[in-house]
A and B are shown apart, each in its own frame.
Chain A
């Protein structure tokens, strides 16, 4: 499993190199190479996770290493999907290294796979985790697009075009792709939360137990709900939407890491070292 994950990391890193080279040289072939490597990495990553699951008999999400690996996988996969739809090449410069970094962290923290308690074997749980992570990955991409948007907006407003103007896509394309990412992320998060409620009901007998992670997930959900509502009814787009996507992701990161390290609760088991 470790050597598999190692190969995945190499592929992600090579893909990052391809995308970086593309950013500087602007040769279509480099972009294709970057995408191909990332896609190979994603396929192999899928195999790695399935293989790990087959060894322990459930989805491997019981320590920080395993959850990070899933997060890296979700980002790579979702980016590939968005790439098919929007062909926003430059996003690879963000997505590929992000997947690589997260997967590297996963490998560094890697421990023996845990055979967890009975309570963790439920389809609702698997569904809960997969949708939540896909949602998180979509929000991660939205954050990256938000950053790209701010850079390109600054370039255009300051009228000094330099390095980025040519290399980054149009504001409208970045904005609408970012919006699509948030919509996907929000949908996934909503489904994931519901799956979590149902699972909680079956295990603890109640939907909601004021666990810190639950509370922060709720806050994240509200934040993105506000972003989508603002866009639909008040026309929050462009800069405002970009900044909100970035803030949303920071809160999300806190929900993912901070809550586990700083606050106690029943989600702690998923991110223990």
Chain B
């Protein structure tokens, strides 16, 4: 990836983060997890996945399944920047006249499956990967999971079966932002060593900085990392990435900011002074 392309992607990611921040008011959104995976979506949809508005019913497209559904503002922001939907539509966030809300809804073109209840789409991803194998296709299935989501046993049921069926067209992409709801994962149900866990389940594993487009390219361009083996990419990310005033704060999980705070946060995204946030932090929802 040349410097120019990297700069373009970084600019796009900044715009995606602006969309996310704008969705964190008037009802709010899961801003922290959305900011942690924004770069992943920007990279995958811009550079790696064969998915676009014209091939959404083509069986030979690639598939991305957002299993940790509550970070969907990052996906919608990416879709807007790629021209899949007008930015205007994001103003429908949480309105009953549209399907843009806290969790993915497949009435939005590009959303393959409903999600929200966690731990479902690893299994669904397996089914799609099996269908592709049965058809003799070469397309790929990426299942984006949270790290907290890996508490769900179905993720590991799916991992067991993925290696049994040698699904080297299947990629589990873990947004390893270190938090679940209002606590660090390692303080609640420790996951590390996560790479070793996936390896012991028969996955080929890469651990990358999930905010570094070159590192993501290096990891994804060599998939399948090993023929006959499913891939796990553990993307080390930062919850709230881009906003120092909420970054890595356990209490800034779900946020519903005032309009004034949103304006401050937009400036903070661009490197200006930190926002002074007075909205109540949310420890339960």
Asked if A and B are interacting partners, one says no
Spell out B's residues near A (CB within 8 Å): none
Spell out A's residues near B (CB within 8 Å): none
